[in-house]
Amino acid sequence: MSAHEKLSRRQVLRGVLGGAAVSVALPMLECFLDPNGTAYAATGASLPPIFGTWFWGLGLIPDHWEPKTTGDKYELPEHIAVLAPIKAKLNLYSGMQVFLDGKVNQNHFSGAQCQMTGMVSRTGSEYTTSLDSILGNHIGKRTRFRSIEVSCDGDRKSTWSARGANGMNPSEVSPLALYARLFGADFKDPNSADFTPDPAIMVRRSVLTGVAEQRKALMMKVSATDRTRLDEYFSSVRDLEQQLSVELERPSPVPSCSVPPKIESEDIGTLVDQTRNTHRQFAQLIAHALACGQTQVFNMAMGSSFSPLRKPGEATAYHQLTHEERIDPQLGYQPKCRWLAEQQMAFFLEMVQTLDSIREGDATLLDRSVVFAYTDHGEARLHSMKRYPVFTAGSGGGRMKTGFHLAAEGDAATRVGLTIQQALGISTGSWGTETNRATKPFSELLV
């Protein structure tokens, strides 16, 4: 037996590989859920929480989106009135701020960076572990995909997700490709009665195991500056091993899981209708992937923070409009920008409603999720770092109260990230660096 074989860690399944495949028929029935629909009857375990981020560029029209009162009896201002159908499952945070602490404002970068990583860097090439990775490591280790990143404007670079300090996770931009990745040949329907571990997948996994086992030897030799990058590569190898391992295990039946209709065509682009359509396709795919337990973490970006969103025939794209469109003296705002901002709010509504439309017993997929919606500037026209509009939707399985407007004038926007971390069970007292270090969660929301 070779050295490699001795090192192989997956001896357990050898027997299966050598002999006949396991195939046990199991009926798939609603009775697997307990009467409340939130736990597996067999184990009593709660359905796991879900964390998602939803990024849109260029904020909202200042003074037009903040409700006049706080608490749970507030009224939605007209600018965001579209969110009314989900108001009870939504929280709104106003007055939030990102602090630069003397560093250059990397326009359209620093603000989103801070809300996702807790820090503002000196340069745009520094970026570190993002909120979704922190939460993913805590809640989503057992899923087929560690997380799913998508962007609706065709730009792979539209992402704010990173596992460490060495580059961001590129976004998937094609709904067709995402469909293939999630529900293609490698998808194991958790509700399928038959399950046969695929020996070919076992081989693929042991190939990766072999690679991963070189880690130690290489890490000893690598230069200090490259060590974390190499380590991250090996983490990625482990992730993929894990993903294949999950595919080798019999999935627990999930009543709410269904394969979404196959996506037949896509039209990727930056026109409002194209982005809406792409977003809709992604929303459906992600919701189904979540319901089917394929992942517990997702990151959706409407697109680049320099938003290229456009009305057809309109010469100027959104980002340029924020700087060039006249503020209508009668209305007191930039009308085209407002329209585009409201389109994005409508997209957000659609995403949240898509999650809410999948029933799991007497609750919904949204109910066990926390979706964190954030943007790059308080007032994009001026690259303002104040008064950021921030939203969360869903209660993370009853771990966070919803239906509130919270005004925290001048507080670090990282408070929202800290609150979510604590709600989803990460025991940390603070998050962020320098003035952006938040120590006080919105405790009124924590259950």
Partner 1 sequence: MNTGTAIGNVISQTRMSQMKTSARFLQMRLLQLPVLLAGVSLCAWASPSLAEPVQAAGDPATSLSFVRLTPEQYRRSIEDVFGSNIRVKENKVSPGFRDEGLLALGTRKLTIGSAEMEQYEELAQDIATQVVDPNRRAMLVGCKPKSEQEADNACAGAFLKKVGLYLFRRPVADDELQLYVATQNDAAQKLHSFNAGMIAALSQMLVAPEFLFRVEYSEPVPGHPDEQRLDAYSRASRLSFFLWDSAPDGELLAAAQSGKLLTQEGLNQQVQRMLLSPRTERGLRAFFTDMLGFDGFATLTVDSTLYPKFTKNVLEDADEQTLRTIVDQLLVKNKSYGELFVTRETFLTPSLAALYGVPLPRSQELGGAVPWVAYKFPDNDPRIGILSQVSFLSLNSHPGTSSPTLRGKALREKLLCQKVPPPPGNVDFSLVQDVNNPKFKTARQRLTAHASEAMCAGCHKITDPMGFALENFDTSGAFRTAEHGEPIDASGSLNGKAFNGMQELAQVVKDAPGTTACLINRAYSYGTQRKPTKDERTWLTSLQTELGNDGVKWRELMRRITLNADFYTVPTAPPLTARAEQ
- Scan residues 6-65 and list those touching partner 1 (CB under 8 A): 8, 17-18
Q: Does 196 bind partner 1 (CB under 8 A)?
A: no
Residues of 367-402 as b/e, b for ≥16 C-beta within 10 angstroms?
A: bbbbbbbbbbbbbbbebbbbbbbbbbbbbbbebbeb
Question: Out of 210, 260, 361, 403, which residue is the one contacting partner 1 (CB under 8 A)?
Answer: 210
Rg over alpha carbons for the chain, rounded to the nearest Å, is 23
| Choice between 133 and 364, CB closer to partner 1 | 133
Q: Does 137 bind partner 1 (CB under 8 A)?
A: no
User: Which residues lie below 8 Å from residue 74, measured CB to CB, with a gap of 6+?
Assistant: 67, 68, 92, 404, 405
Binding mask 96-135 for partner 1 (x = CB under 8 A): --------xxxxxx------------xxxx----------
User: Which residues lie below 8 Å from residue 31, measured CB to CB, with a gap of 6+?
Assistant: 41
Q: Does 4 bind partner 1 (CB under 8 A)?
A: yes
Q: How far is the CB of 149 from partner 1 (least distance, A)?
A: 7
- From 41-49, 86-94, 252-260, 309-317, give the range in contact with partner 1 by CB under 8 A: 309-317
Instruction: Name residues contacting partner 1, limited to 377-406 (CB under 8 A).
Output: 381-385
- Distance between CA atoms of 113 and 121, rounded to whole angstroms? 8
| Choice between 261 and 313, CB closer to partner 1 | 313
CB 191 within 8 A of CB 28: yes
Question: Out of 132, 325, 360, 367, which residue is the one contacting partner 1 (CB under 8 A)?
Answer: 325
Ordered DSSP codes for 140-206: -TTSSSS-EEEETTS-TT-----SSSS-PPPPB--HHHHHHHHHSTT---TT-S-----HHHHHHHH
Q: How far is the CB of 308 from partner 1 (least distance, A)?
A: 6
Instruction: Name residues contacting partner 1, limited to 157-176 (CB under 8 A).
Output: 157, 162-164, 166-170, 172
Which residues share a beta bridge with 360? Answer: 363
- From 32-40, 235-243, 411-419, 428-436, give the range in contact with partner 1 by CB under 8 A: 235-243
| Choice between 46 and 107, CB closer to partner 1 | 107
| Choice between 169 and 402, CB closer to partner 1 | 169
CB 227 within 8 A of CB 219: yes
- From 71-79, 234-242, 349-357, 404-412, give the range in contact with partner 1 by CB under 8 A: 234-242
Q: How far is the CB of 123 from partner 1 (least distance, A)?
A: 4
The alpha carbon dihedral of 313, 315, 321, 324 has a sign of negative
